[in-house]
């Protein structure tokens, strides 16, 4: 990380770690994600990935495509988990 001369890296790290809410001194770029997640669209995507996982599981069981069903269902569930954890980081 290239810092301007005269800036102590440890002091900068402590400064950002002490941020507990977005303010003038703690910009949104200092948060873990670097942006505010949109709650509405994240709820929508969490529900959509959950429905896609359920549909994939049901169709994969019906058509007996076990490996395809397992991997696509796992992918949908992991995407849903990622969106849910993004929602949990909204309060960062």
Which two three-digit tokens encode residue 88?
Answer: 């949990």
pLDDT tens-digit series, residues 12-21:
666 667 777 7
Cα 66 to the chain's mean position, in Å?
28
Residues of the domain holding 47? 9-91
Q: Work out how many domains the chain is built from and give that number.
A: 1
What is the average per-residue pLDDT within 4-24? Answer: 68
1 located within any domain? no
Q: How far, in Å, CA of 82 to CA of 33, rounded?
A: 12
What is the average per-residue pLDDT within 72-88? Answer: 95
pLDDT tens-digit series, residues 41-70:
999 999 999 999 999 999 999 999 999 999
* Residue 8 vs residue 2, higher pLDDT: 8
* pLDDT for the residue 26: 73
3 located within any domain? no
């Amino acid at each position: 990380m290239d810092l301007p001369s005269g800036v102590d890296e440890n002091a900068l790290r402590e400064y950002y770690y002490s941020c507990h809410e977005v303010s003038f001194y703690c910009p949104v770029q200092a948060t873990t994600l670097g942006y505010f997640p949109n709650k509405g669209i994240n709820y929508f995507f969490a529900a959509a990935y959950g429905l896609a996982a359920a549909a994939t599981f049901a169709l994969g069981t019906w058509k007996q495509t076990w490996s395809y069903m397992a991997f696509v269902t796992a992918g949908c569930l992991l995407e849903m988990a990622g969106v849910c954890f993004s929602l949990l980081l909204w309060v960062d």
